Structure 1
Amino acid sequence: MSESQVITLPDGRSLCYSTFGTSIHPDRPTVFYFHGFPGTHHEGELFHEAASQKGIQLIAITRPGFGGSTYQPNRTLLSFPQDVLALADHLNIQRFAVAGISGGGPYALACVKAIPPARLLGTVVICGMYPLKLGTTGMMLANRMLFYVASWTTWLAMVDNFKTIPAVDWAAFQEDEGRILKVVLKSGREALQPGPEGAAWEAYLFGSEWGFELEELEVQKGRLVLWHGGKDVNVPLGMAETAAKLIPNAELRAEQEEGHISLMARTVDEMIDTLGNMLKA
């Protein structure tokens, strides 16, 4: 695993990232990883071993306003693909895949919209967030309040949801001496060190119009997989099911007995395998 790295973007902002799996080389299979909400590139640590075994370099990016990545006023979901391309160009990486986890899901779909398919070879979304208009039935009340309140206020109150998560997620947090929980807490703490402004704006983005419709996405068969758990109360499975129907050629893999965190824990190897196959094809 590499130490945290920083590049200066064309507009002068700093963008933080770190590399997991293999070391950086322009010709190695590459996946750009988008963390959850709130979070930082440290989440990529959870995929280091699987990526190493498959010979994949996984480059995790911290979004603007979190951790050491400069806050970007009035950014949109479609602003982020330009940051991804800037980093890819900086590292001389021409072709790659992307993976978005939870709150990183909308940004993975934004990349499908904004990045030419000649460069973006595949996309995976794990327990991803989808437009609220797809329906929030089954979503925990704290999350629904967060996205709607953030649309008209400039502050964000972080809610402790650990007491209400499904048993399957709590069990996943405790496995391997609490490894996932430690990484998530570390990532979340660093994300909010600059203050709540970045998180507040991101919650606003999730609850607003995204700037593109899911039906507009052009996806080749086998190039987009949506994974979701049937016991997910952060983002209910129904949202992913509707999204899969709207996006042409999207493949939905529903794991009925998994939750939000447990899905990520149980599908690490399969997710890396899927991304590796996309890159080979």
Structure 2
Amino acid sequence: MVSVSTIDADPQYLDRAGRRLAYATYSDPTGRPVVFCHGTPGSRLLGRLLDAPAARRGVRLVSPDRPGIGASDDAPVGIDDWPADVAALLEHLDVESAGVLGFSGGAPFALSCHRLDAVESVTLVSGTGPPGVGGAGRAQRAMGTLARYAPWLLSPFVRLQRWVLRRRDPSAALDLLADEPPETDALSTDEIARLVETDILAATAGGPDGVVRELGLLAEPWPFDLDSVSVPVTVFQGQRDTNVTPATGEALVRRLPEATLERVDSDHLGTLCVAAPRALRGPTLV
């Protein structure tokens, strides 16, 4: 059972050239490391959703907050800056090799890590694609357009959304990511709703700037070509996902040099819940 106090555990920190990078670790502390790239908006706290399947797979899940998100200090960085943070985090944890798992808006950040020698494989779950590859839901497209061309208009919306979510039932936060009640063998729907609410509120605890910047980055051409990704990639795509269309997973696999598509009969967050045990497999089993 998950309580809010357990979800909102104190982060650990890594110093990155004068700024703090916050992270949390879950599951087996001696297991095979996997770096979890949260969605947008999202934070290190969503890693709790993968705690039980990671433990069963013997995985040490490392879940960092990206700059300006959650407890990490803000910085004017882009997608192509993220691998350096991941490399520093892996060195800090004395990790020589790791997998990377990107959920939703974390997909480009996960894929950008392919150039790190330590990264063996990348897994995408409900992962967004670059502009022109697949598609996003209507709300996601609208926010991406605002973030790219009029971020000063999106910031008040993010603040308003936070104000509303703090005053409503956790199911309101869950509705942003799921069309159906999700459930796992470790967490009930109500527990997942509380986790998602805490995760989204944590993402904007320091203000909207980090989330707004990321939404803009997701709407711009990515700073690398998909055909340059040099590690095996597994793409889990929900067939009833209204946040990231099912065509996205198929389009990503066609563009990536070494990629496998696994279709999941679920929605956006439900795909993460259903696919977690398979998504956390070792690279030799992908």
Q: For this structure pair, what is the TM-score category when the shorter chain's length is used for normalisation?
A: 0.7 to 0.9
C-alpha distance in 1 between matches for 2:178 and 2:214 = 27
Shift of the 22–207 alpha-carbon distance from structure 1 to 2, 3 Å rule, reads: same
Corresponding position: 1:46 with 2:49: yes
C-alpha distance in 2 between matches for 1:7 and 1:55 = 24
C-alpha distance in 2 between matches for 1:48 and 1:63 = 20
Question: SS of the residue aligned with 2:277?
Answer: helix
Q: Give the counterpart of 2:15 among 4, 8, 13.
A: 8
- The CA RMSD over aligned residues, in Å, is 2.5
C-alpha distance in 2 between matches for 1:164 and 1:6 = 28
Task: Give the TM-score of the pair, scaled to structure 2.
Answer: 0.85
Q: Give the counterpart of 2:63 among 60, 65, 69.
A: 60
CA deviation vs aligned residue, 1:198-226 (integer Å, no higher than 9, x gap): 1110011000111111122223xxx3100
Kept after mapping to 1: 8 A contact 2:173/2:197: no
Kept after mapping to 1: 8 A contact 2:177/2:269: no
TM-superposed deviation, 1:3: 4.4
Question: Where does the alignment leave 5 or more consecutive residues of structure 2 unmatched?
Answer: 1-5, 166-170
Corresponding position: 1:115 with 2:106: no
- Letter of the 2:227 partner, please give it: E
Question: SS of the residue aligned with 1:185?
Answer: helix
Corresponding position: 1:261 with 2:261: no
User: Identity of aligned pairs, percent?
Assistant: 26
Shift of the 184–279 alpha-carbon distance from structure 1 to 2, 3 Å rule, reads: farther
Shift of the 52–3 alpha-carbon distance from structure 1 to 2, 3 Å rule, reads: farther
Q: Give the counterpart of 1:143 among 122, 140, 143.
A: 140
Q: Paired residue for 1:200? A: 212
Question: Where does the alignment leave 5 or more consecutive residues of structure 1 unmatched?
Answer: none
Q: Paired residue for 2:238? A: 229
Question: SS of the residue aligned with 1:19?
Answer: strand
Corresponding position: 1:98 with 2:96: no
C-alpha distance in 2 between matches for 1:64 and 1:166 = 23
Stretch moving more, 237-246 or 153-162: 153-162
Corresponding position: 1:271 with 2:279: yes
Kept after mapping to 2: 8 A contact 1:121/1:279: no
Task: Give the TM-score of the pair, scaled to structure 1.
Answer: 0.86
TM-superposed deviation, 1:154: 2.5
C-alpha distance in 2 between matches for 1:167 and 1:42 = 15
- How many residue pairs match? The answer is 264
TM-superposed deviation, 1:20: 0.4
Kept after mapping to 1: 8 A contact 2:134/2:252: no
C-alpha distance in 1 between matches for 2:284 and 2:141 = 36
